Amino acid sequence: MKEIKFSLVYRDMWQSAGKYMPRVDQLVQIAPEIIKMGCFARVETNGGGFEQINLLFGENPNIAVREWCRPFNEAGIQTHMLDRSLNGLRMSPVPADVRRLFYKVKKAQGTDITRSFCGLNDPRNIIASIQYAKEAGMIAQATLSITVSEVHTVEYYCTLADELIANGADEICLKDMAGIGRPVSLGKIVGYIKQKYPNILVQYHGQTGPGFTPASILEVCRNGCDIIDVGMEPLSWGTGHADVIMVREMLNDAGYKVPEIDMNAYMRARALTQSFMDDFLGYFIPESNRRLQSLLISSGLPGGMMGSLMNDLKDNLTSVNKSRVKNGLNELTIDELLIQLFDEVAYVWPRVGYPPLVTPFSQYVKNLSMFNLMQLNKGKERWSMIADNIWDMILGKAGKLPGKVDPILIKMAEEQGRTFYTGDPQALYPDKLDEFRAEMKEKGWDVGQDEEELFELAMHPEQYRAYRSGKAKADFETELAEVKAKKAAPASTTVFEPQQVQVEVNGQKFLVDIQYGQAVDKPTARTSSAPVGESHFVIAPLEGKFYLTKNPSDTAVKVGDVVKKGDLLCFIESMKTYNAISSDQDGKIVEICFANGEAVQEDDILFKIQ
C-alpha cells in the first residue's frame, strides 16, 4: 500500500484568493492548530508574493518568516517556499549575488525546501537555483511549469525533468498553476519520472479553478506521486486548491495509505482563517475567486493571479466603457470584458512564443491582452502598447521561449531598434550587493541577522524603502479605509461626500482624504505656469502610478529639458508592468504634472511641452 503525504500550501491559499497575506501575529496564531491537525508532512511558509505583500502593509517579512517557520521546524514538519529562479521573489530578474544570498537567508530563517520554477521552463534559470539552494544546505525541488499547447507535450516535460535531475535536482514538482493539465498526460509525466528515477520524490501542485484537479490528483497518485499539495476551508476550491478532507477520502477509497485528520483542530484552523478574512483580508478577495470556472481552461490563466485579474478588470472597465461610449458603442459588463480578455489571451499567447502562464509571464500575457483590448475598444491598433518587461520576455532576455514569436512582433522589434538575445539571461543582470551595502551604510541601516535586511533591500528595493519610511504602512491603511468605506456604502447610493480618516504610522498621525462612489470629475492637470494655448499636452494612455524612472539610478527628465519626438519621458506602472511613455513631439518640458508614485487616470495631463 503506497503512502501519500500532504503539503498545506497556506501561502498560496491566500495568493490564489486575493491580494494580501495574514500578519505575522495571525500566522503564529494558526500554526499550532495546523500542527495539531496531524496530517501535513509539509507546509508552504513563504515565497513568491509573500514577502512583497508583507512589505506592502508595512510589516518586516524577515520577522514574519522566522516566526512562521519556527513552530513547524520544532514539530518536525518540513517547510517549503516557492521561488521564481532568475526572478527570485519578484517579477523582474535578480543579480546572481542576490540570488545566492537569497537561499542562505531562507535556510537560516527555517525554510527547508525551495521549489524553484522558471516561467519559461528554461533549464538554465532553474539549474542555477538548484546550485545556489544546495550550496546553502536546502533541498532543491525543481519545477515543471505545466501548461497545454502544441509545444508543451508529455515528451517535452519528460525531457525537461531529465535535464533538471541530471543537474542535481533532489525532487521534482509538477506545478499545474492554472489547473489545466489533463489528468492522463500528468499521470504519464509522473510515471516516466518514477520509473526512471524511483528515488526522486515527486510532488503535485494543482489549482482547482477549471475543475480537473481531483481527477489529476488521482491519476498522478496512480503513477507514483509522493506528495499532494492541498488547501483547507474556507480557502479551498475556487481558484485555490482541493480541500484536504476530500483528497484524503478519495485516496483512502482508492487504497492508498493516507494520514488521519484531527477534525477538531481542522475546525479551529478553519475558524481562525475565517477570522483573518473578517479582520481585513476578506476585503481584498473577489467573490468570483471562490467558484470553479471552466472558462479558465481556454485561457490557461493560473488561479494564483485571478484575484489581481478581477481587480484589474474592475479598474479598467470604467476606462474601456468611457472609450466605447465616445465611439457610440454599448457599455460592457464585467463578464463581457472577462470573455473578451480570455479570447484575447488565446490570440496573444501563441504569438508571443507560448510562455507557460505562470508568474511573471502569466501577468505579462494577461496585461498585453488587456492593453490590446483597451486599445481596440478605443479604435486603435493591437500591439500599440507593449511594456518594456514584456518586450524583454519576447526578446529572450528572461530565457528561451518555448515557441516562435509572431513575425509581426519581430518586425516591430526591428523597427524600434530592439535586438533578440540568445545568451544566458543571468549575464544581463550584473551583481549589485555592494551597491545595496553602500546604501544601507549611508542610511545607517543594519544589514540584519544573517544579512536578511540587506537581502530584503536588494530583492525588493522600492518596497523596502517604502517600508522603512513608513509610507507602505500609510498607503495600506489608506487603501483599507477606502475599501471598507465602499463596502459599507448603501448599494443604491451614488453620491458620497469625501471623508477623512486618521492613520497612525510609527507614532506619527496622518489625516487622509477618502472619496468614493460617484465622484465629481477632477481636473486633468495642475495649474500651469505656461500661457494657455502655447503648450502641447502629453496625455496618460491608461491609469496607474506615475514614475519618472524605473530605477533610482536612472536619470529623470526635468522642467527645462529639451526632448525629441520618441524620447522617454516617464513610466506608468499598471498591472505590475512599467509602461513607457514617450514624447509625441519635439519641444521643451515646461511642466511635470505629477510626482513619483502619484496615481494618474486615463487622459490626465502628464507633461506640458512647448
Residue 182 lies in a domain: no
Residue 303 lies in a domain: yes
The range of the structural domain enclosing residue 582 comes to: 536-609
Backbone angles phi, psi at 441, to 5 degrees: -65, -40
> In the chain, how many domains are there?
2
Peptide linkage before 22 cis (omega within 30 of 0): no
Q: Which residue's C-alpha cell is 461626500?
A: 497
C-alpha cell at 33: 492548530
Residue 212 lies in a domain: no
pLDDT of 137 strictly over 90: yes
**What is the DSSP secondary structure assignment for residue 330, as one 8-state letter?**
P
Domain end call among 397, 426, 455? 426
Q: Which pLDDT score is estimated for 512? A: 52
pTM over 0.85: no
Q: What is the pLDDT of residues 532-591, one digit of tens each?
A: 456 789 988 888 889 998 876 678 999 999 999 888 899 998 776 788 898 988 999 999
> Which DSSP string corresponds to 444-468?
T----GGGHHHHHHHHSHHHHHHHH
Domain end call among 399, 426, 453? 426
State how far the Cα of 102 lies from the Cα of 33, in Å rounded to an integer.
Answer: 29
As a whole number, mean pLDDT of residues 286-313 equals: 69
Domain end call among 426, 453, 486? 426
3-class SS string, 10-32: HHHHHHHHCCCCCCHHHHHHHHH
Residue 281 lies in a domain: no
Average pLDDT, rounded, for the chain: 88
State how far the Cα of 254 lies from the Cα of 23, in Å rounded to an integer.
Answer: 39
pLDDT of 39 strictly over 90: yes
**CA-based nearest residue to 373, from 399, 342, 349:** 342
Q: What is the pLDDT of residues 447-502, one digit of tens each?
A: 999 999 999 999 999 889 999 999 999 999 999 999 999 888 765 444 444 454 55
At 170, the pLDDT band (50, 70, 90 cuts) reads very high
Q: What is the CATH number of the domain that holds 584?
A: 2.40.50.100
Helices (H), ranges, 210-305: 213-222, 244-253, 263-279, 296-299
CA-only gyration radius of the chain, Å: 24
C-alpha cell at 117: 520554477
Residue 202 lies in a domain: no
Residue 266 lies in a domain: no
Percentage of the chain surpassing pLDDT 70? 89
Q: Does residue 37 sit in helix, strand or coil?
A: coil
- Per mean pLDDT, which range of 319-328, 351-360, 438-447 is the poorest? 319-328
Residue 310 lies in a domain: yes
**Number of C-beta neighbours around residue 273 at 10 A:** 23
Residue 276 lies in a domain: no
